[in-house]
Structure 1
Amino acid sequence: MSIVYDCGQPETREAGLRAAANALKAGRLAVIPTDTLYGLAANAFDGEAVASLLRAKGRGRDMPVPVLVGSWNTIDGLVFTVRPEARELIRAFWPGGLSLVVQQAPSLAWDLGDTRGTVMLRMPLHPVALELLREVGPLAVSSANISGQPPAATAEDARNQLGGVVSVYLDGGPAEHALASTIVDLTADAPRILREGAVPTEAVAEVLGVTIESLVGGGARG
């Protein structure tokens, strides 16, 4: 059985965050609000929980799960080498709607799917998500919808699709942007935009000091 908590009210927000943290630490799933869309979350370091997330969405390991972090500094423990381009983009757009695909630290004991040694990281600009991340640590988070169905812009949208497979729903109101994050791939020599979303390509190009044309290409992930 799942429970929905209204995070717009101080009392139920506190209870919801506590319930979500307990559920995630116990290997269960939670739906959380972010600044882009609602996310289906699992403890990133719990392989069984991540597998449950993939099953809930009806997708395979070939589409690995992104990771949300609660601070800039968290990336240092997750990434093999933090490139200067990553630092520039983090300073400019985190917290916010920009996801970075980077080479993960080889020592990490997690299983997010067939990542081929990479991980997609983002720090969301949402107080509920950030408070939960700072309590639980990095979370494997994918859009809160069945694969192939419309992404969830509200907690109700997510519950209509995912139902009782999720233990806790945190209702933070309608998603501010209702638009997926922009994805920048930093695993090759030159940065590439895999998906344009909440952050315009022009803004990324300006921060990196490159042309828009050099950034465009690739395919989406997440």
Structure 2
Amino acid sequence: MTEAVAALRAGDLVILPTETVYGLAADAGNSEAVVKIFEAKGRPRFNPLISHVADAVAAERIAVFDDAARKLAEAFWPGPLTIVAPCRDIVAVSDLARAGLDSVAVRVPGHAKARAVLDAFGGPVVAPSANRSGRPSPTTFADAVEETGSFAAAALDGGPCAVGVESTVVSVLDGRVSLLRPGSVTREEIEALIGPLDGSGEGHRSPGRLTRHYAPSAPVRLGADAGGEGEIFLGFGPGVGPERWSLSPTGDLREAAANLFRLLREADRETPAGIAVAAIPGVGLGEAINDRLKRAAGFVG
């Protein structure tokens, strides 16, 4: 466990057992570490990721819970239920981990070894399933190591996963409770506790249900050579645009991915006529960056 905690603090990845599936874990507040997860899984998409914490007290440090959220937490935690609620701490859970949203997905895993790591680490840890994209989620240690073990600095064997399917995801936002993703905590169990669920949940706030992403108020123009009148220009590569607004002055895709949501948000705060973005290569992480930019520009979702 000590090795795993040290790896998380160093910004590295850890294979982490939970009762649902094995996860590929990283410090939720470290965008560079979160980028490594997308790289390791392949064909990445900037979904919101679940922030795993040691207990409900730690959950309320990063999320704003109402009475319904507290009832759900008391009934089903530790366990395979994820609660999507307004984000309280945007530093502890980075923009990249939240996919640029104002909400955060959080849960307390039911696996004792996972909670011990989280308690020792002292902060939220994102841990999507430790599989390569398009493959089944690993529910044994051997399968997790085979899938993404080469990307992890540490790996914990917690035995076979007791649940074996990803957690149920419920949003608790604006006074409405909605089921975003079914799992082993059933609709009937949830409704028995808090009453009928609302049917208007926003699927984009749930991992595994990507439909759209945070888009700035300003229009976004892609593949630009320079900024037009009143636009902020987000450059990429040496000498492309002002360094202050560069996704990566050196043309590093990992750095660009880690900076993407932050720079879009900061540019939008300037209330520009638009946000122009330089062309990004469509290889490796560039595929994910371009996917996110297309959604920001309204071309997808």
Question: What interval of TM-score do these two structures reach, taking the shorter chain for normalisation?
Answer: 0.7 to 0.9
Q: How many residues align?
A: 203
- CA–CA distance in structure 1, aligned partners of residues 89 and 71 of structure 2: 23
Letter in 2 for 1:101: V
Residue aligning to 1:50? 34
State TM-score, norm by structure 1: 0.85
Residue aligning to 1:176? 162
1:141-175 deviation line (CA, Å, top 9, x unaligned): 11111122100101111111113111111111110
Q: 1:26 to 1:72 in 2, by over 3 A?
A: same
Pairing partner for 1:131 from 84, 93, 116: 116
1:203 correspondence with 2:172? no
Letter in 1 for 2:141: A
Larger Rg: 2
Residue aligning to 2:52? 68
Letter in 2 for 1:66: I
Relative contact order, higher structure (CA 8 A, sep 6+): 1
Residue aligning to 1:154? 140
Secondary structure at the residue paired with 2:117? helix
Residue aligning to 2:88? 105
State TM-score, norm by structure 2: 0.64
- CA–CA distance in structure 2, aligned partners of residues 173 and 106 of structure 1: 33
- CA–CA distance in structure 2, aligned partners of residues 76 and 120 of structure 1: 12
Residue aligning to 1:12? none
Q: Once the 2 structures are TM-superposed, how far is the Cα of residue 113 of structure 1 from its aligned partner?
A: 4.7
1:100-148 deviation line (CA, Å, top 9, x unaligned): 1111015535231524111110000111000000011211111111122
Q: Provide the alpha-carbon RMSD of the alignment.
A: 1.8
1:38 correspondence with 2:22? yes
CA contact (8 A) 1:61 1:114 kept: no
Residue aligning to 1:167? 153
138-147 vs 86-95, greater mean Cα deviation: 138-147
Letter in 2 for 1:52: K
Ranges in structure 2 where 5+ consecutive residues have no aligned partner: 209-301
Q: Once the 2 structures are TM-superposed, how far is the Cα of residue 211 of structure 1 from its aligned partner?
A: 2.5
* Percent identical residues: 35
Residue aligning to 2:73? 90
Q: Once the 2 structures are TM-superposed, how far is the Cα of residue 73 of structure 1 from its aligned partner?
A: 0.4
Secondary structure at the residue paired with 1:23? helix
Q: Once the 2 structures are TM-superposed, how far is the Cα of residue 196 of structure 1 from its aligned partner?
A: 1.0
CA contact (8 A) 2:26 2:125 kept: yes
Secondary structure at the residue paired with 2:105? strand
Letter in 1 for 2:59: I
- CA–CA distance in structure 2, aligned partners of residues 163 and 95 of structure 1: 26
- CA–CA distance in structure 2, aligned partners of residues 62 and 25 of structure 1: 22
Q: 1:86 to 1:59 in 2, by over 3 A?
A: farther
Ranges in structure 1 where 5+ consecutive residues have no aligned partner: 1-16
Pairing partner for 2:106 from 117, 121, 130: 121
